[in-house]
Each structure stands twice: as C-alpha cells, then as structure tokens.
Amino acid sequence: MSLPFVLQFRHPWQSPHPLLIQHQATLADPLRAALLHAGSLTDYLEQLWQQPVVVRLEQQQVATALAVSDSDDPVWSGYPLLDSSAGLLSRAAWLHVAGRDRLFASSQLALAGLSQSLRDRIERGQQPLGTLFLEQAASVARERLELALVTAPQLAQRLDQPAEQLFWCRRSLFYAGTARARIVEIFLPGFQDDRHLHPVTQR
C-alpha cells in the first residue's frame, strides 16, 4: 500500500542534524524536537498539548510477503525491509490533537511475532500505534532516522494550502518489544503555531 498522495522530494533522505542546521532559522523548537524525538511521537504529542491523540484512519490493509515491494517507491527506496513472512499491516492515518490534524503517518508493521490480541487491536485502527506499543513494552526505540523536505500537491489541496507548500517528513525503523515497524511521518502546517504548549520529557 502506497501513500494516498505523491511526495515530491526536494532532496534525498538525509540524516537529521545537517538538514536541521541548514533550516534552523525557520524551525520553532517544538517542531525541531519532534523531528528528532526517538520515542513514541504519539506520547510526545500528548505531552506537548496535554490532550489525547485521536486517530482518523485513512486506509489500512494486510499485504502478503509476495505483494510487498518498494524498489520503485522513493518513500522507502534504499531502506531496510521488515520480516514479511507473516505479512505486513500497512496503515495510513491522521493524528488529531487539540482541535487540529497535526501529523499524517504511514506505517508498515511486521505481523511476525505479534500476539493475536495485539494484532486484533491494531487492526481495529482506533488507537495510535505508539500508544499500543507503549502498553506492550517499557520503552520504544528508533533507528535509521532520516529527514526530508517535500511538496505534496494533493495533500496540500486537502489542507487548503498552496500546491508549493513544503512539508517536513521523516522515516524511521520503530521497535517496541516484539513489534517492528517502518514509519513515515509528515508534519502538517500549523504544527508549531500553537502557543499553548507544554514541556516534554523523553520516554
């Protein structure tokens, strides 16, 4: 399952710090911290706004191992593959908090090694993956965190933004207990405009 809109990359995926230094004049602290956050981004958002994150599911499906291929997909090109022996659950969802959509997330979750109860809860699509993962493990971790600036005219149109609107996005490998996922997160306009934000601690 691909993203429901096309991302047009301004540059290849990059390690975070050089890109953030290049754009430091235009980045507010909450967005910079979110782009670097190594734990659950759901947890980060809930700490930031002191309100629960609500998931609005865009699409979700389970792909068999034979159906999984991303060699021509710039979102995942050159990135490690997951164990697809038991299939992959692909999900695209909006993360809504404090009255606005703050993030669009597209994830691929390896079903191998997951308990049936956790798989059932994930497939309902009602809770953020980060919340479910934190319930299963004391901590979560990310590897291969990379950032990019993109345009996405179809996404911009849905948000009533100009077609040339730039979006920050990041991709990472996400680990929590037996759960393994690849996640792309797109930060929506207005993420850093809210003045009613709270301190965040790393968990």
Q: Is 179 a member of any domain?
A: yes
Give residue for tokens 């207990």.
Answer: 177
pLDDT of residue 138: 57
Domain count, the chain: 1
Q: Which residue ranges of the chain lie beneath pLDDT 70?
A: 1, 65-71, 136-139, 192-203
Sheet harboring 54-63: ordered strands across?
8-9, 141-151, 166-176, 179-187, 100-110, 88-97, 54-63
CATH, residue 92: 3.40.1410.10
Residue pair 166/151 in contact by the 8 Å Cβ criterion: yes
DSSP state of 160: T
> What sign does the dihedral 41-42-43-44 (CA atoms) show?
positive
Phi-psi region at 88: left, alpha or beta (left = phi > 0; alpha = psi -120 to 50): beta
Percent of the chain exceeding pLDDT 70 equals 87
Q: Is 161 a member of any domain?
A: yes
Q: Residue 173 is inside which H or E element, if any?
A: strand 166-176
pLDDT of residue 16: 96
Q: Is 203 a member of any domain?
A: no
Tokens at 71, concatenated: 């060699």
Tokens at 49, concatenated: 């706004």
Q: Is 170 a member of any domain?
A: yes
pLDDT in tens, 50-67: 899 898 999 998 887 544
Give residue for tokens 């929590």.
Answer: 176
Structural domain that includes position 116: 8-187
User: What is the model's pTM?
Assistant: 0.88
Q: Is 198 a member of any domain?
A: no
